[in-house]
Amino acid sequence: MIWALGAIAFWIAGSALNVWIAGRYGRARWARLFVPLLFGATLLVLWEGLVRGLDVSPVILPPPSMIAARFAQSTDLLWGDFIQTILKGALSGYVIGCGAAVAVAVLIDRSPFLQRGLLPVGNFVAALPIVGIAPILVMWFGFDWQSKAAVVVVMVFFPVLVNMVAGLAATDHLQRDLMATYSASYGQSLLKLRLPAAMPFLFNGLKIATTLALIGAIVAEFFGSPTRGMGFRINTAVGQLDMPLVWAEITVAALAGSGFFGGMALIEKAVTFWHPSQRAR
């Protein structure tokens, strides 16, 4: 009981401190970092305290300390799964899918007819439960990472395509007329004006696609996989009621997802430094 009460007290104290800091130093840079971190820490403490204090069985919800211990203990296993699922499955599929989407967007850019036909279809497909094709692709490409990459390709293709097409249309008349007065060819105006202008839109799509890629790669493993990979490990560990290992895999997935997303955001910052949304802060 002491654990639970202590955790709740800590949580209340942390929240009070957060409210105070937010009210007083809300604009400061360190406060922007510190407040969310403290909030996360209080959540972890609350979790640990409640699980211990209320004697929740680790089969249902293990405390963070136990997950951390399992994580440290099985780094080799986790690293192997990481390579199989994230590097081989998700990343290769992501590169192929996004590359194909950008290429298709540039190709159909010259044909308004194709655009008017493909865009509604693309928008429609982007809203569909594409994860559902995972069993079909696993059947076609076998159990190894190729099928996972194929699922990822299909999943990331349409969001990136839709964003890229919107991005290529983002220049206004004045800018295009200026290029025309320079007598720029189609290729020149594409390379020097429209591709750079499309970058904010493209990165929007690329950032959405990072999470989709991880989801696709992991879910596809539920339909069949070699004896490694994060989806496979989660499935079998659940079967053995080895919840700390499951949560360790989830931690890896969360870190990989955040890292992937953060990496894209950093690249975006470097590429579209001129855009108002990047300059504002």
Partner 1 sequence: MKALLPILTVLAAIVVLWYGAAVWLNSQWIYDQAARAGTEVTVTQLLSETMVQDRPVLPAPHQVAQGLWDGLAGQKITSKRSLVYHGWITLSATMAGFALGTGLGILLAVGIVHSRAMDMSVMPWAIASQTVPILAIAPMVIVVLASLGIKGLLPKAIIAAYLSFFPVLVGMVKGLRAPEGQQLDLLRTYNASGAATFWKLRLPSSMPYLFASLKVGIAAALVGAIVAELPAGATMGLGARLLSGSYYGQTIQIWAALFTAAALAASLVMIVGVIERVTLKRMGMAR
CB of 116 or CB of 192, closer to partner 1: 116
- Which residues, in sequence order, are CB contacts of 102 under 8 Å at separation 6+? 160, 164, 202
Can you tell me whether residue 281 is helix, strand or coil?
Answer: coil
CB of 118 or CB of 168, closer to partner 1: 118
SS3 of 184-241: CCHHHHHHHHHHHHHHHHHHHHHHHHHHHHHHHHHHHHHHCCCCCCHHHHHHHHHHCC
Nearest distance, CB of residue 42 and partner 1, angstroms? 9
CB of 21 or CB of 96, closer to partner 1: 21
The rounded radius of gyration (Å) of the Cα atoms in the chain is 24
CB 186 within 8 A of CB 239: no
Among 117, 142, 192, 269, binds partner 1 (CB under 8 A): 117
Establish if 154 lies at the interface with partner 1 (CB under 8 A). no
Q: Under rule CB under 8 A, how many of the chain's residues touch partner 1?
A: 63
Give the interface with partner 1 as residue ranges (CB under 8 A).
15, 18-19, 21-23, 26, 31-32, 35-36, 38-40, 43, 59-61, 113-118, 120-121, 124, 127-129, 131-133, 135-136, 138-140, 210-211, 214-215, 218-219, 222-224, 230-231, 234-235, 238, 241, 243, 246, 250, 253-254, 257-258, 260-262
